[in-house]
């Protein structure tokens, strides 16, 4: 009998403090929709849904006919399911972690090293860099989101340093002057000046950051501070909720991207808040958005030479495949694993439109 290559998953939830609380979180709502027995705690943050085989959140297999209990265990014994190129390139491991994020407050700033640097950092300080893999990411919005990636034009940063004294205090006069003088210099001088500004901000003591944020909040609440409007919403929010005051609040004056429907974060860059469903791709990694009108009763998920994970965001279907012994019912929040070179037939069981996302690795 052929090994079953298609099966449903129960996926891990991460309760990071920055996540939305209880049923306000899309992560919690997806969980509750997919599992009627799930109990959502309204006083607990539901930050991330992890769909994959990560050791800290290995998805459970929801089919008692399969002897392995988790996706990671099953892949270890069925590596051909990854696809021949993926198996060889990534040493028999699933090379992506598919997530849903539901973000209430700013995440901490994160560095995204490339593969070479990640391996070096992992060897030097495994307690801080437990993973030797690189971390490129792609954010795809389920709702509008704002993100920080890279740096603003130098002219804008210099304007903030001139007109926002609290920001300049944390950067320091020397670094601020260096950045202003670099405006007419070569790219290396600009990069060096930016590094100095960013380092000063990131190394600021939390007590000092809180003091300056409180001063900024008080000042912009008492006057029409036009030059601060780009950052005032997050700053005021942070000032009113000291628990979440952090350096990222001020990083909006260094880095800002308005609402987008998608955002790519390459390695060796910095990132901050986004509300998204995401997978970490370089060009070989793919997230497919699949929309099927409710008037269409059947839809086929085509085979690719890669393992896939599919998330149902809207609609109801039953999934069938050549190796699945019985049809698999899926509804909003349902997650399906599909082995490489395996096609899946979906039959819509409700008149609602169907919306799904599929993550895979196309080498």
Q: Which residues are catalytic?
A: 237
Helices (H) and strands (E) in the chain, counts: 11, 20
Confirm whether residue 128 is marked as ligand binding.
no
How far is residue 335's CA from residue 325's CA, in Å, rounded to a whole number?
18
Instruction: State the virtual CA torsion across 163, 169, 174, 177 in degrees, nearest 10.
Output: -10
Dihedral over alpha carbons 26, 31, 33, 37 (to 10 degrees): -140
On whether 122 is known to bind a ligand per the annotation, the reply is no
Pairing mode of beta strands 6-10, 335-338:
antiparallel
Torsion angle defined by CA atoms of residues 86, 50, 117 and 284, in that order, rounded to the nearest 10 degrees = 40
State phi, psi for 271 to the nearest 5 degrees. -140, 155
Q: What residue ranges in the chain does DSSP mark as E strands?
A: 6-10, 12-14, 20-21, 45-46, 48-51, 60-61, 98-101, 110-112, 137-140, 262-265, 269-271, 277-279, 285-292, 298-301, 308-314, 317-320, 328-330, 335-338, 344-348, 354-361
> What secondary structure does DSSP assign to 135-176, as a single string?
--EEEE-SS---B-BS---HHHHHHHHHH-HHHHHHH-HHHH
Nearest to 272 by CA among 48, 47, 105, 108: 108
Burial zone of 294 (CB within 10 Å; 0-12 exposed, 13-18 middle, 19+ buried): middle
79 is in an annotated binding site: no
- Binding site for Zn(2+): which residues? 110, 112, 137
- Binding site: which residues? 110, 112, 137
């Amino acid at each position: 009998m052929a090994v079953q290559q298609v099966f449903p998953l129960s996926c891990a939830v991460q309760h990071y403090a920055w996540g939305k609380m209880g049923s306000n979180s899309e992560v919690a709502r997806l969980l509750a929709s997919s599992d009627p027995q799930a109990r959502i705690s309204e006083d607990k943050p539901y930050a991330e849904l992890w769909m994959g085989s990560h050791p800290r959140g290995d998805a459970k297999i929801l089919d008692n006919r399969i002897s392995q209990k988790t996706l990671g265990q099953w892949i270890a014994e069925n590596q051909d399911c990854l696809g021949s190129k993926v198996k060889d390139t990534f040493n028999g491991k699933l090379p992506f972690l598919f997530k849903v994020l539901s973000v209430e407050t700013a995440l901490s700033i994160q560095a995204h090293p490339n593969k070479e640097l990640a391996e070096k950092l992992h060897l030097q300080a495994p307690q801080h860099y437990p993973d030797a893999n690189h971390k490129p990411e792609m954010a795809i919005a389920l709702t509008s989101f704002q993100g920080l990636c890279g740096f603003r034009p130098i002219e804008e940063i210099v304007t903030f340093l001139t007109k926002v004294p609290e920001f300049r205090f944390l950067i320091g006069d020397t670094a601020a002057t260096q950045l202003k003088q670099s405006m007419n210099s070569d790219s290396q001088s600009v990069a060096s000046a930016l590094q100095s500004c960013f380092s000063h901000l990131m190394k600021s003591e939390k007590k000092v950051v809180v003091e300056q944020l409180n001063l900024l909040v008080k000042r912009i609440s008492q006057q029409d501070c036009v030059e601060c409007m780009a950052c005032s919403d997050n700053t005021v929010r942070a000032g009113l909720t000291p628990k979440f005051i952090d350096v990222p609040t001020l990083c909006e004056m260094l880095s800002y991207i308005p609402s987008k429907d998608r955002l790519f974060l390459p390695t060796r860059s910095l990132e901050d808040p986004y509300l998204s469903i995401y997978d970490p791709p370089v060009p070989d990694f793919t997230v497919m958005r699949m929309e099927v009108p409710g008037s269409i009763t059947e839809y086929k998920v085509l085979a690719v030479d890669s393992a896939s994970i599919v998330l149902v965001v809207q609609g109801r279907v039953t999934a069938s495949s050549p190796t699945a012994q019985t049809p698999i019912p899926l509804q909003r929040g349902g997650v399906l694993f599909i082995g490489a070179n395996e096609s899946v037939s979906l039959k819509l069981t409700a008149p609602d439109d169907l919306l799904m996302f599929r993550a895979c690795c196309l080498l």
